[in-house]
Structure 1
Amino acid sequence: DPKVDVLGMPDGVKFVFLDIGLGMIVFTCVLGQLHTQVNATHCMIDFINNYFALFTLYTAMCVEFTGIMHSAYLIQNLMSAVSGKPIISNEEPKTGFTFAFFWGRVLMSLAILGFCMAVVMVALFNGDTMVAVKYPGISVGLSVFLFFFFMSVVGMLEAMQIAFFSAAKVTAAERGNSFFGKKTCSILFDGNGRNLPGFMIGRQLTVVGSFFLVASITGLNIKPGEGNNIFGISDGAQQFLNYGFHGAVITTILASIMWQYAASAFPLAFLNSPITFGLLIFALVLEGTGICHGAWV
């Protein structure tokens, strides 16, 4: 409610920090991600030498075992086939039940992903998402465009991270002669080398901000029990979807993992892209504002 007083802040400041969510974006980025990443780079062994790290690992392994995200492995295999690069793994080749169980989960994951995309698209066109509540002036067409745009931004930033670390392992001659590739590498690796970690901070802030905006677009504004449940699902299922599970599945697979696999297969293609150069400059400018410098403390 814009009429509610919050620490005596002007309406414009409240709109930026609360309505748009800049305050929560910075809070999440600095305290929830960046400061732990900075600490982990300096104290890698100490950072994992505790039961909470072990609990986190087991939790992640359990989520992976469910197969909800297994469609990402299909993307991995497709990228490997297209690029001609074999998938390096210590696992034995899948045969028999293991083979069937693996690809069965891939098919299940594809079905879940398709359902999640259908939920988002139908909700957007019906005006049943949080974007209609937070930003009522945004049309349906613009909402759909912003949904794919911000997912592409996140995907490019995820891919750039992979491409940059791949570029750091090869010589300048192996990086090619692309104008934008040379400019990008010059900014990243010349001088005192501060631009690469600076990019990581600016990148993280951009990713978190984009995820918050995508969450507004994919979040459902449907109250169970009123007969408006999407696809006529039960009230319990609608309540579950209202938590944002469908958005998490979509963004994890289509805005993150897919792009990482693509960058692993074709790092130079991403390195030489003018979009990569533009996003690099944007991330460095964002980091240069100092809005997330608290992560260095």
Structure 2
Amino acid sequence: MEPQDQEEIAEMNSIIREIQTIYDAGTPMFTKDAIRKVGSELDVFQKGGASNGREITLKGINGADYTIFVGPPVLKSSKNKNQHLGGSTWTIGYNSIEKLTVDRDIWSFDPQTTRYLPMEISACTREITRELEYEENPTVSSTEDSCRAFQDAERKFMASEYHERLEAMLATRGILSAESERYVQDPAYTQKDRDVLSPNGFTVLDDPQAFLLLDESSVLVSIGPDIPVKQIVADICRPGMIIWNRGNEETNSYLFTDPESSRVVRMIEKEYFEVDFPYHKILGDLVMYIRKSA
């Protein structure tokens, strides 16, 4: 190993230890102010204010400001004839503490920028894959057809045994299914998704507005996210009720997108009651947490 490589590895390990020490001291990785700031930067990109990319300044977990250049999406043609690009966009990348502290290859290590950043903005393209049968007989359903399909699925769910078991479980714990404003957020939503969800009682929010709206009166439902929702929530608020995937040792590594850090575990153990959630073959192993009274 070259002396320069040894120096870079030593620097990387030093920064990893520094970040872990900062985190263990209780410093939040995510705050609503920081999320609001990165959201405003994202808004500039998405409204066409930086079609060629631009520099932005974000705050690291160590409190320092880092200026990075965010370039435009790079469009690459796919060799798969059943795959095509579905458009490009800029998105927020949320980094878990595991991702910031895992040992990395020195070639992907940048001590001046992304190593310290819990949040980033990057450009991406959507890749849409079609099966051969759809390629040969392409069908595109209308928004009206999609709405009817959504409503049909909802009716089937409401009449299902699973829903009956869920209602019974909530009733035994004195939890009422009260109607309230329902917000949904997923950067992958297309305009068609919005056109289906909106008339069916959902307010579709742009990332990161759902995190900014979360408060102690919220019921948070997060199933299979590809960002560290648990760690974000543990830093910014204490929802009245939480429903999300049950964590375990296998899922609590940087290889998984929503690991339970030590901070998340402490929050759940000290501040919430755990309620078993009925298992669903599609939704998976979920768990409900109800915040303890003060």
More strand by share: 2
TM-score in same-fold range (> 0.5)? no
More helix by share: 1
The higher relative CO (CA closer than 8 Å, separation ≥ 6) is in 1
TM-score by length of 1: 0.22
TM-score by length of 2: 0.22
